[in-house]
Structure 1
Amino acid sequence: MSAKYQIFVSSTYVDLKDERDLVIRAILEMGHIPVGMEMFSAADEEQWNIIKRQIDQSDYYVLIAAHRYGSCDSSGLSYTEKEYNYAREIGVPALGFLLEESVSWPREKSETCPVAIDRLNLFKTKIRDRPVSFWRSTDDLYGKCSIALVKAFNAYPREGWVRASQVQDTAASKEIVRLSGENAELRERILGYERADSEETAITEALDLLRSNFKSINVWRKGDKTWSEGAEVTLYQIFEVLAPELQVESDLVTIAKFIATNAIGISSSEIRSTWPTPRNVIRAILADFAALNCIVPSTRKKPVANTNEYWTLGEFGVKLLAHMRRRRLAKIESLLPIDSDSDSDADVDASVG
């Protein structure tokens, strides 16, 4: 968005009319907005207030000075100096351009009153306190003013003026960007809620299936020559005790032993060391868990000599186990008395276990 700067041009009037017109032309050619003091009559307080408002709205202030102090207010302060003081007071970047003292200058364009000359010299001293340029001719002033303004635009960037349509377009673009971001955030939230609902539904359905499916598991005890009756348990019971072991991975033989000792409840000293539960039953159980996306074959690297089959929890299995553990923890907490102590905690652990 291209901004146009408003630049207030100040000088004494009659003696510097040509120079001021040239500076105004330079500003216009640069694409900016000159405001000349000749547009106003600064001879009364009302017009001075108008000039102050124009300086308030200006981005930069240009002062051209030669050998005239100019018309003064009731206190003896020239309106040119008064404008310069006000611009400095409100923080408008001020650029001073003084005529070099060595340049020949018409007598009719110079002060002859000693008081006015003294005041002009004091004013010039004030101008020199800030960075200032010295000019020798109108053409010289034209070039130096253009260069100084470009430098000021870079060194002291100001707000400037823009077309209302540009502001509206920019505001609309910003609003569109804001609304688009807000819309994307809301869509992501909705998808998150939908995913959470879908995930909760999937967990509920999986738990129902695990609870409603039973497996009769026989065992091979030490010293026996055939299978003996073990127990009938749900897939839920099996997964609840087996899943924590599968958080890393386990091979089939270890899984078979773990089901015999933890799901059926037979002491490890009573069962044979190899396949204490039927291999085909174990594979069927694992196939059911895999069908529910609870477990997956392990992908961890093994030595070449290790030909065992390993299984681990899948992503959904991890979530399912977390859900089951949270429910168990909530159940334990609900059993605690209001004023529980360490002894009652131990009783609860024993009863739940």
Structure 2
Amino acid sequence: MKGKFQVFVSSTFMDLSFERDLVIKAILEMGHIPVGMEMFSAADEEQWNVIKKQIDQTDYYVVIVAHRYGSVDANGVSYTEKEYDYAVSQSIPTLGFILDDEVSWPKDKSEIDRAAIRKLKSFKEKVRLKPVSFWKNGEDLYGRCSIALMKAFNAYPREGWVRASQVQDAAAAREIVRLSAENAGLRDLLHSYEEAADTDAAIDKAIAVLRSNKRKISVWKTGSSGWDAGKEVTLYQIFEVLAPEMQVELALTEIARYTASNVLNIPTKDLRKTWPTPRNTIRSLLADLAALKCVEPSARRKPVSDKDEYWALSAFGAQLLAQMRRRRLERVESLTKIEHKADKDTTTDA
């Protein structure tokens, strides 16, 4: 009987999503069944037990490693390494695919924490104790995985799965179909949850950075012969005022005027018309906000005669603005509820 093998694919999630999808594609094109931790949530013991059961039913185990150690459990062990250790402990044939050290790799997909880097190095050394290949890009990984699996199928024969008609077990076939559909749905759901969690964490970090950084902005008032000292404000205050105006785009000259009148709260009539705030200061503020991925140069087309420079919110900046305003609205709602409760308690006491 010709069977289908179940192959468990393990890796860190966000940084290797594309590469893991290629490996899953390779497995499917070979006619076998891919499963992986992205179909589950490994955040608690109950879900970990589910993952162990999946590994127990797995015929072959594939692990993809690049430059991220990944999320860790309460003991500081990444879930990728935890899965690998369990597969080895169950004597499941394992195939390792490690990114070639000479390959250029994005910094945002690499560990910067020294402890995590040490753990990752140790994990790679562990993976090298079993059959391992070194890949350079997604297509290279796709090819190497296909070849390695074919060799493993011959070298380490496993039980696999067969059609219900071949074993007269229709119930088992229906269960495979159900689990496949359920796993696909769970993968999509988990992916959406992780994207939302990553965005919320990035927004919280951006808000903290904006609040903690202050800038002193000078002004040139009407009738003055030079720059006045102005005042010191946080990047949060600046972004909070400018962001609603930059949802489409805002010219650099308009940003300068708006900063003086609405961030520093100086009446427009008291400001000189041209550059009431220093051009270099405004450019520096925009550079800081751009470094936090809050704003970006506008991509909208302009007439050739328009020589001004335009800036707009980035996609992340729009999410950040929406979150800031939502939180403000929720605080107002919360205070209103407290006031209503206090009024009710006062009435009851009377």
Higher relative contact order (CA 8 A, sep 6+): 2
Give TM-score scaled by structure 1 length: 0.48
